[in-house]
Amino acid sequence: MRVYPKFLLSALAPEQFPQPSAPEVAFLGRSNVGKSSMINALLGSDEARVSQTPGRTRAINFFAIADSPTRQQPRWIFADLPGYGYAKISKSISAEWPSFIDPYLTNRETLALCICLVDSNIPVQRSDAQLIEFLTSVGRPFLVVGTKADRLSGNARVKAEKTLREGLGIERMLLCSAETGRGINEVWAEINAVKA
Ligand code: GDP
């Protein structure tokens, strides 16, 4: 899928969010899960690197994604959320999260899909399970994507997926690799299915 991304802005408070326009796809995950790599693999560009510049890691970084080089109106807005899970002992993910994240996930009108990234090489993390619980409780559609699947052999992949699905209490998920491109088309298929 060829798309034309443009960095919009970094928001540190709800007043700074862009005017709701196109359907929004939010990317969430623990720090180091491979979120920027995944966004870059989806966009076919280095656009998400911008979110790693100092000062932007605690912000929501918004990108306008057009599906034609000439169209003004974006087809989607991508929202790259701050990574969570730094703290060793975490009572809740929101304890480490900037206070505007939960309201964003709860109230943002145009938020159509949350893509929750989990590392497919490690057991279920409490903070990931808490995020899924939270999204379920507020009724936000989400898709769980296991990252770095290139590190797993065929058998280990099947096992990892089963363990993660059971641990997170979900019916289905995708396994992907930003390195090899595995699963990237499947993620696009889910984003494409998001209603305008
Ligand atoms: P972020 O903090 O979630 O944005 O994570 P990054 O995208 O910066 O990736 C964190 C680390 O994981 C980096 O060292 C990446 O090279 C590595 N990584 C990211 N995606 C993959 C992947 O698909 N496969 C492998 N093997 N490593 C990956």
| Cβ of 179 less than 6 Å from ligand 1 | yes
Residue 2: how many CA atoms within 13 Å on its side-chain side?
A: 2
pLDDT of residue 89: 47
CA 163 distance to own-chain centroid: 20
Check the CA dihedral 108-109-111-113 and report its sign: positive
Which atom from ligand 1 is nearest to the alpha carbon of 37?
A: 7
31 lines ligand 1 (CB under 6 A): yes
Q: Is the beta carbon of 93 within 6 A of some atom in ligand 1? A: no
For residue 140, how far is its CA from the centre of ligand 1 (angstroms)?
A: 26
Residue 37 Cα to ligand 1 middle (Å): 6
Whether domain 4-192 has CATH 3.40.50.300: the reply is: yes
With the most atoms of ligand 1 within 8 angstroms of its CB, the residue from 28, 36, 37, 180 to mutate is 37
Query: Is residue 37 lining ligand 1, measured as CB closer than 6 Å?
Result: yes
Per-residue confidence of the chain (196 residues) as pLDDT tens digits? 789 999 999 999 999 999 999 999 999 999 899 999 999 999 998 777 755 666 567 889 999 999 998 888 999 999 999 988 755 545 566 666 778 888 899 999 999 999 999 999 999 998 999 999 999 999 999 999 999 999 999 999 999 999 999 999 999 999 999 999 999 999 999 999 997 6
Question: Measured from the CB, is residue 33 less than 6 Å from ligand 1?
Answer: yes
Which residues are CB-contacts of 121 (< 8 A; sequence separation ≥ 6)?
Answer: 148, 151, 152, 160
Quote the ligand 1 centre to 70 CA distance (angstroms).
32
Q: What pLDDT score does 195 carry?
A: 77
Domain ranges of the chain: 4-192
Evaluate whether ipTM surpasses 0.95: yes
Confirm or reject: Cβ of 83 under 6 Å from ligand 1: yes
**Among the atoms of ligand 1, which is closest to the Cα of residue 48?**
4
- Whole-angstrom CA distances from 49 to 61, 63, 184 are 11, 12, 18
Distance CA 69, CA 29 (A): 30
Q: Does residue 164 contact residue 147 with C-beta atoms inside 8 Å? A: no
How many Å apart are CA 44 and CA 114, to the nearest integer?
20
